[in-house]
Amino acid sequence: MRIVLLGPPGSGKGTQATMLVEQMGLPHISTGALLRNAAKRGTDLGLQAKAITDKGELVPDDIMSDMIEERLSRDDVANGFILDGYPRNLAQARSLDAMLERLNIPADEAIHIDIDPDELIRRIAKRAKEEGRTDDAVETVRNRMRVYAEQTAPVVDYYAERGLLTLVLGDGSKDEISQRILSVLNTQAATA
Ligand code: ADP
C-alpha cells in the first residue's frame, strides 16, 4: 500500500505513521525527520532548512522535491510506503503525482487526521516540553498553523477530488486512532 498521511501540526501524524510502519512493515518517509537529520549532520542543506523550519515556514519546493525523489527511488519502496509531511502545498501535490506516475507507484490512499484546533495547541505545548523541538516554540507554532491553513489544507481537497481521501478522527488515544486508520486501510485492501 502506498499511503499519504495528512494532518495539521500536532495531529499525531508522525506518531501514527510510526505505529503503522510497525504494523505493516512499510518504510516511513517523513520529510520533517529527513530535514532534522540533515540539520543534525550539519550539511549545507540541513542548516539552510533549519533556519526556515525554525520560523515555521515551508522549505522551498525544489529542495523538497529533490529530497523526496531521491528517497522514493530507493528499492525499499517497492512494496509500499507511508508518506508523512509531503505534500504540503498544491505544487508539491502535483509534483508528487507526476513523480509517482513516472516511477510507476501511484498513491493508493490519502488519510487525513482531523482534529480540533484547541487540542492541537495543547499537544504541541506538551511535545515542546518533552522533545525540545526548536520549531515547537509558541510563535513558530502559530506560524505553522497559519501555513497549514493557507497552503496545506487545499491538499486535503486535492486528494478528495481524486477519490483517494478518507478522514479519520484524531481525538482519543494513540491506539484508538491507529485502530481507525488500520480499519480504513483494511477496508481499502478488501475492495481493491
Ligand atoms: P509537523 O507536521 O508537526 O509540522 P514535520 O516534522 O512534518 O512537523 O515538519 C517540520 C517542519 O519541516 C515544517 O514546519 C516545515 O518547515 C518543514 N517541512 C517538512 N516537510 C516539508 C515539505 N513537504 N515542504 C516544505 N517544508 C517542509
37-65 pLDDT, tens digit each? 999 999 999 999 999 999 999 999 999 99
Q: How far is C-alpha 163 from the geometric centre of its chain's CA atoms?
A: 19
Q: What is the mean pLDDT of the chain?
A: 93
Label residue 159 by pLDDT band (50, 70, 90). very high
Contacts of 53-60 with C-beta under 8 Å, sequence gap 24+, read: 53/135, 54/134, 54/135, 54/140, 55/140, 55/143, 56/135, 56/139, 56/140, 56/141, 56/142, 56/143, 56/144, 56/146, 56/147, 57/143, 57/147, 58/88, 58/89, 58/147, 58/151, 59/35
Is 88 labeled as catalytic in the residue annotation? yes
Residue 12 backbone class (left: φ over 0; alpha: ψ -120 to 50; beta: rest): left
Query: What is the spatial distance between Cα 150 and Cα 144, in angstroms, rounded to a whole number?
Result: 10
Atom number, ligand 1, closest to the C-alpha of residue 57: 16
The owner of cell 508522525 is 14
For the stretch 72-99, pLDDT in tens is: 999 999 999 999 999 999 999 999 999 9
Catalytic residue among 2, 71, 127, 180: 127
Q: Tell how far the Cα of 156 is from the centroid of ligand 1, in angstroms.
A: 16
Q: How far is C-alpha 82 from the geometric centre of its chain's CA atoms?
A: 9
Q: Tell how far the Cα of 191 is from the centroid of ligand 1, in angstroms.
A: 32
More confident residue, 130 or 83: 83
- Whether the CB-CB separation of 179 and 172 falls below 8 Å is answered with no
Catalytic residue among 144, 146, 162, 174: 144
pTM: 0.91
First-residue to last-residue Cα distance in the chain: 10
Q: Tell how far the Cα of 190 is from the centroid of ligand 1, in angstroms.
A: 32
pLDDT at residue 111, rounded to an integer: 97
In the chain, % of residues over pLDDT 90: 77
pLDDT at residue 72, rounded to an integer: 95
pLDDT at residue 139, rounded to an integer: 83
> Which three cell numbers mark 82?
507511508
Residues with CB under 6 A from ligand 1: 9, 13, 31-32, 35, 52-53, 56-59, 64, 85-86, 88, 92, 135, 144
What letter represents residue 50's amino acid? Answer: K
DSSP for 98-136?
HHHHHTT----EEEEEE--HHHHHHHHHHHHHHH--GGG
